[in-house]
Structure 1
């Protein structure tokens, strides 16, 4: 019982959360690549096809919805706060 209390202290909860998020992101990317990546072929029939020059399918995979959503936006996380602290006309 002493070893359980050693690892389940409240101080390690953020570490567990960070590791959990990292494992979740890795798992999501793994499933995404296996399921919809045009260069990954899991079953034998698709592997026998060899290298395909299917550029439209590759572009559809690379230009996903999130990339299209953020393409025209400024690379800021909190634009209103950034504008408040960097705007020269504020006194």
Structure 2
């Protein structure tokens, strides 16, 4: 039974599912720990709706978003420009 699931052909599937589960887990922990709209403790939930815009801006404007903001959405810009830009 174990030989049916542990073939080398199945390893990429395990890797893809593992990466997907890792990304989901990272996002879950990130939201629980630092999202200003998620309140886990009873004291924080009792505070009601807070208008804390600075904390929300800090959460949404993270490093990766700031880094890719002015970048072109290309995977290989040098190859794209080689084939598309006229000489």
Same fold (TM over 0.5): yes
How many angstroms does 1:85 deviate by? 1.9
Alignment gaps of 5+ in structure 1: none
* TM-score, normalisation: structure 1: 0.92
TM-score scaled to structure 2, two decimals? 0.96
Partner of 1:24: 22
- Distance in structure 2 (CA, Å) of the matches to 1:4 and 1:81: 45
Gaps (5+ residues) in structure 2?
Answer: none
CA apart distance, 1:83: 1.3
Is 1:74 aligned to 2:77, yes or no? Answer: no
- Using the alignment, how far apart are the partners of 1:20 and 1:5 within structure 2? 20
Runs of 4+ aligned residues of structure 1 deviating over 6 Å after TM superposition are none
Could you say which residue in structure 2 is the equivalent of 1:61? Answer: 59
Instruction: Figure out how many residues of one structure are paired with residues of the other and give that number.
Output: 87
Give the root-mean-square deviation of aligned CA atoms.
Answer: 0.8
